[in-house]
Structure 1
Amino acid sequence: MSIIEPYALFEKARKQCPNPFTLESVITANEVWGEVITNLPSLNEHIDRQISEAISEIKQKYSRKKGITIKGDRGTGKSHIIHRIWKKISQQGDSIFSYIGPCSNPKRINSHVRFYLADSFNHQDIKGVSQWQKLAAAAIKTLKGTDYEEKYRHYIEKCDSPNELKKYIINIQTKETLEVFFDELVEAILENSSNIDYSFLRAILFLLLKNLKDAQIAFAWIKGEEHSEFKKVHLPEFSLEQQEDKSIWMIQQICKLADIASLPVLICFDQLDSARTDSDSGDSPAETTAKCIDQIYFQCSNVILICCVISDTWIEIEQMGSGIPDRVGQSLVTAQPPNAEQMVELVKLRLNWFYKENHLNSNDYANLFPFEEAKIRNVASQAAGVRDLMKWCAEQFETAEIIPGQIIEKPHINPIEKNKKEFLDKYKELLKRIDVPIKDDDKLAAIITCNMKMIPAEGTANIVVTQVQQISYKNHDLHLIIIGYDCLDNRNVKIGVRVSEATNGNTFNAVMKRLLDYKKYGITRGCLVRSTSVPKNWKQGNQLKDQLENQQGGEVVVLTKEEMKPLVVIETIYNDAENYGFNKEEVTNLVKDLRLVADNKLICEILSAPN
């Protein structure tokens, strides 16, 4: 191989592959559960140690609960710490872990935590076992050494391999005997663990069966979702108001069950400053979350509550009364920015990713090629954060001389076009790795509302939007009202929008009745946004849908993941604008200029008059 060839391969890869220094500038929920390019265990290892010590204390009953606040400026690796916690737990299995992102509806913060905690426990460890399965198997294992050990011996023996236990139950029990089997099993377990609720334990045992229908019904019950078949598996039904009250109780039950298995429960709260202020109480997102954490702290044991905040957000919490800061920040630890050595290591990690993705041999290149270590250290010495360093590296990576003797001319780039390109790079990268929140009406509505405010002055193809009103969240109420002018029909419009993924007929009916009350909201048209069709056996629901479409000039718009995903990305960048290298005004203007919302099919369907 000639001296030139490795550099020619590098140059070819640089042109074809994404710039490694623009990727994953912000950790999303996907990366918390998955993989990250720049995980540097030595960065903030003092916090990793503190959390490991807290797990050990709870496990050995030296403490019953712990509140840990991780404080640090943007770009100091707080979310990376959470990622490492889960990675370690998924390998060692000494505790169970949940990740709670920002809440869209502050009035339902408890339900939000319950929903995402339940969702978190569906994630699997390195053996392919979900955290729910681990809990259910642990409950069965408590029968060891009791009068029931002989009866359930074959089940107990398989508790250390929950997937084998699942197969055994499915093979031994028929569809007809399964319910009776679980009823008797619950009663046996509760003889020695009487502080666990009967219905809760029954639902947990169903989760051993993973994807079977009864397991899915039980999972919906635990999450606080609605389901028409709760009675079928003998689980009690609760109203929407009761669900909010029951949420902390459900978390309490989870902590009790985990305690039996000596598995501390970690609940990690992240991105507290990305949510919405409560319009009634005036509480900031941080204050709303802190109050929820405080409730859990008071009512639950066997729990570690971890809260990631920037310094300004911690000041808000610190000023709260009633001893809340003392519990939320029972242990206050500070995330430190990387030192010069760690900065160099972070650059190496990104370069190694680039080599691996492009099948390049790192030994063919000088250390840190195409950079000079002295220059990286110089950037680090100027008190630059990780994001500043990554930005510098990204620019240098694009223009560095790769093939010896080849001169790279730096083209003059218009600052506006450069900003636009940087935004589009972030936008396209996030599109590949972000998920659409499923069955979270309030979150989906918040995303649509945020995006509606980024429609340019000239509007969409048909509608000029003049105002977007976010409704104060109440049960079954509209989510937003859009005021504008219909250029095709030459008239003013006021569109009421409600997102409803309801799986319960009564809830759907309540939503539709609000949406049909044009007089109350002063709207000219109602719009229901929903991903699934209304079941044919919902007689009243279909009548109300027909009234909306055929009598009141409204419409039902089908929500698809493909059309929703770009809106999720835009809202994510907007809410965390500073971390992505912009401010919120810049994001709004860029989205308007690029017509990313104005030309989105879902947005256009909501705004356009029904055919």
Structure 2
Amino acid sequence: MTDLSVSPIEEINAAIEDYNPFNSAAIDKVQSVWGKGFPDLNTLNAHASQKVLEVIKQVKTSSDSKDKVATLVVTGDPGSGKTQLIGRLRRRVIGDGSAVFIYANGSKYGDLNLLRHQFLQTLVENLARVGSQEVTQWQEVAAAMANASNSSGQKTAAATIVKNFDKAYAKALQNNQNMLKKLSSQILKIKPDADPYILRAILWTLSEMYAPYAIEWLAGNELDQETANSMGLPTNAGKTSQEQEAEALGNIQQILRLVSDHKPVLICFDELETQGILSEDGFTKAQVIVRLVKDLYDNLEQSGIGKGIVMLTVMFGSTWAGEIASAITGTATANKIGGGVGDRLSTATQGKPIDLKPLNSQSLVDLVALWLQKELYDPRDLKPHDPVYPFTESKLRDIGKGKPTVRETLDWCAKNYRPNVPISLEERFKRAVKASKEADLGDYLEDNDKIADALRFGFEQLIGETLEGETLTGQKLRQLTIESVDTDIKVVNSKAPAKNLSNQGYINFKVVGNEDDKNFVIGVAVIQKGNAAALGAGLKRLTAYERFGLTRGCLVRSKNKKINKTTNAYKLLEKLTSQAKGGEWAYLEAEQIRPLIDLYSVYQNCETYQLTQKQVAEFSKPQILENPLLREILSDPSGEIDAETIEDEELFGTLFDESSADDTANDDDLNDLFVA
């Protein structure tokens, strides 16, 4: 008799042939923390996540200010689930609104001598992510401060305040009143120690129009003079990297104090290990980061209403033993790192790290069954006859006896998913690309680095190829050959105009080649940030041809990221696309960049698919040769700016010019902010 409670084996086998869920285990770590994440076996390392959640509650309820800041360390072998633990914590605290969440991925920190400034940017960027109230975490904080200033005692939902802000501001301005100044002054009465500019910038995050500029300013980056005047903020102009670094710790303290008045803050440091990279004074990345944790612990002050701050640092066990633990034992290395570092790294556990545990036979079976259920069977409404099919429980239990890590287990599953079905190399490649296409990349069109890496990969596969023909927009390619792709953007002429201008990562790479017997060097800059300040800074470098050795500049940016005609960024865009410069704006479209991202993902994780990088490059080349975005970047620019990409309307005006608006607003103007 047929068991109607399970799916036909033919349907299950077809699904297995079509998709390998274990290949998706190789996605990038930031996305696994902030995105959908991997299937999470809650019982695995529950001791570690539960301890962190307990400490969050402790700092929140403690009446002693010295107990309002706590630290913990989690150690584990590579692949033991450290980042998965952080992802679990993010989903928990954002899901129930119990804490503000910050993920500090150390792999993003390229210059160890400027770590404080880089962490400030991490802090600001994470607060710009959506929190528990369907608005950004910045907006949650700003709305909480606005509610605290409301004389009626009314508490309005953050989403409502965000929806009302621009309209209420414009209405007050028509009455020659400045609502934001009034709001700032009322909050400063409650928080007299707050930096008024930082407070003002946080309130600006409530504005749909000005939030991107406020976030850029909070990160320590420069605003153009007109925008800064409109927002009543200093421009941050003219500061050297060293000056930004010197100011960063104070700004971090100010921000964290204001944010933690609203909710506890959980900061998770991850990816501390980078071999061969040292700071100028000889510290490893792990040592520099733990010194930052110590500095934060020593300098973060909590007010009487503060909800507390918890800093979690995860690292390899070998990193703890070899680079950090000696700070506790008092050896020579401790003197090098700085006294007291070890004691301040894990105050919640008396200086002892929490160790992650490997899998055992039962947890390995449970993990594999969970992955198959969440990633294969449930999305296809299939009910297998065996929860671990196509594996066997006995085989999985045997593997579990060796106490493998999570990553080792998932790698084994990916490689042994269809052990008895011969698959050609080309078919493996097709399935790998299909799996990458189906992976949830989150808001990847906002990720400059991911887009730039995919473009660079595409151009690298075209080295030595001769391209010709016409692009989708009618631009020409005339016997064009790419000779090299250079990611090291050096100053080649220090005496050129734009003196003292360094790249700072704005130009992602240069494409070097020859077309019609003429050499070219195209600088490519992916700039998806919405604010004019970041765009202007990038365009300033992209138009500095002589300084960076370019013959042409290409801005890669979505067409819907409009540029206001009143900004300096627009003037620089006009300069870039002028006949003299011959540069262009290549429009970024999802259907053109996503295939390159998928191919690059397969290339990066080729071993997971039992392929080599050479094989992936070979199979990828036909698609890359025809990619419209790559061809658009290489083709002769049109020299035109599409009118659809430009905003003509003025911004709110110079809102903080004393002649244009009073520095007060009546209660009616503020009440408009809280109308449900």
Deviations 1:329-358 (A, max 9, x none): 655333222221111111221232233222
Change in Cα spacing, 1:196 to 1:239, as seen in structure 2 (3 Å) is: same
**Aligned to 1:88, which of 92, 100, 103?**
92
Higher mean displacement: 121-130 or 498-507 = 498-507
The corresponding residue for 2:310 is 304
Cα shift at 1:198: 1.6
Which deviations, in whole Å up to 9, do the C-alpha atoms of 1:100-148 show, x marking residues without a partner? 33326537654543344333334445553543343234435656xxxxx
Query: Structure 1's 582 and 157: CA in aligned 2 closer, same or farther, altered over 3 A?
Result: same
**Which residue of 186, 191, 194 maps to 2:192?**
194
Q: For residue 649 of structure 2, what is the aligned residue in structure 1?
A: none
CA pair 497-277 structure 1, distance change in 2 beyond 3 A: farther
Q: Relative to 1, partners in 2 of residues 1:166 and 1:451: Cα closer, same or farther, differing over 3 Å? A: closer
Structure 2 portions without partners, runs of 5+: 302-307, 325-332, 469-479, 492-499, 639-676
Aligned to 1:428: 437
Distance apart, 1:312 and its partner CA: 5.4
The reply on whether 1:218 has 2:240 as its aligned counterpart is no
Indicate the residue corresponding to 1:2 in structure 2.
2
Aligned letter for 1:550?
Q
User: Given that residues 19 and 435 in structure 2 are in contact (C-alpha distance below 8 angstroms), is that contact kept between their aligned partners in structure 1?
Assistant: no
Indicate the RMSD between aligned Cα atoms, in angstroms.
Answer: 4.4
Secondary structure, in 3 states, of the residue corresponding to 1:268? strand
Q: CA deviation at 1:254?
A: 2.1
TM-score when scaled to structure 1?
0.77
Partner of 1:256: 257
Answering whether residue 107 of structure 2 is matched by residue 78 of structure 1, we say: no
Q: Distance in 2 between matches of 1:551 and 1:389?
A: 58
DSSP 3-state at the match of 2:418:
helix
Q: 1:201-600 counterparts in 2 under 5 A? A: 201-207=199-205, 209=206, 212-224=208-220, 226=223, 228-239=226-237, 241=239, 245-261=246-262, 263-273=263-273, 286=286, 289-290=289-290, 292-301=292-301, 302-311=308-317, 314=320, 317-318=323-324, 321-323=337-339, 326=342, 327-328=344-345, 332-353=353-374, 354-361=376-383, 365-366=385-386, 368-394=388-414, 397-398=417-418, 410-413=420-423, 417=426, 420=429, 423-424=432-433, 427-430=436-439, 432-436=440-444, 438=446, 445=452, 448-449=455-456, 452-453=459-460, 455=462, 458=465, 462-466=480-484, 468-471=486-489, 475-477=501-503, 479=507, 482=510, 484-486=512-514, 488-500=515-527, 514-531=541-558, 532=561, 535-537=564-566, 542=571, 545-546=574-575, 549-568=578-597, 577=605, 581=608, 586-587=612-613, 590-591=616-617, 593-595=619-621, 599-600=626-627
Percent identity between matched residues is 25
SS of alignment partner, residue 66 of structure 1: strand
The code of the aligned residue for 2:264 comes to P
Q: Secondary structure at the match of 2:171?
A: coil
Classify 1:468/1:174 alpha carbon distance in 2 versus 1 (closer, same or farther; 3 Å): closer
Supply the distance in 2 between the matched residues of 1:610 and 1:538 (Cα, whole angstroms): 23
SS at match of 2:266: strand
Greater CA drift, 92-101 or 390-399: 390-399
| Distance in structure 2 (CA, Å) of the matches to 1:164 and 1:607 | 46
Tell me the SS of whatever aligns to 2:123.
Answer: helix
Partner amino acid, structure 2, of 1:337:
P
Contact kept, 8 Å, 1:476 with 1:507, in 2: the verdict is: no
Q: Residue 196 of structure 1: CA displacement?
A: 1.0
Structure 1: state its 5+ residue gaps.
144-151, 400-409
Separation in 1, partners of 2:201, 2:291: 28
Equivalenced residue count is: 579
- CA gap of 1:10–1:34, structure 2 versus 1, over 3 A, is same
Query: Is 2:102–2:127's contact at 8 Å kept on the other side of the alignment?
Result: yes
Paired position in structure 1 for 2:145: 139
Partner of 2:172: 176
Q: Quote the Cα distance in structure 1 between the aligned partners of 2:599 and 2:390.
A: 33
**What secondary structure, in the 3-state scheme, does the structure 2 residue paired with 1:229 have?**
helix
Change (3 A) 1:331 1:200: farther
Does the 8 Å CA contact 1:493/1:524 hold for their aligned counterparts? yes
Matched residue type, 2:53: S
How far off is 1:47 after superposition? 1.3
Q: Distance in 1 between matches of 2:190 and 2:261?
A: 10
Residue range with higher mean Cα deviation, 51-60 or 318-327 = 318-327
**Cα distance in 2 between the residues matched to 1:70 and 1:287:** 15
CA distance in 2, matches of 1:8, 1:444: 41
**Separation (CA, whole Å) in 2 of partners of 1:512 and 1:36:** 35
Task: Tell me: CA distance 1:549–1:232, structure 2 relative to 1, closer, same or farther (3 Å).
Answer: closer
The AA in structure 1 aligned to 2:395 is K
> Does structure 1 conserve the Cα–Cα contact (< 8 Å) formed by 2:73 and 2:354?
yes
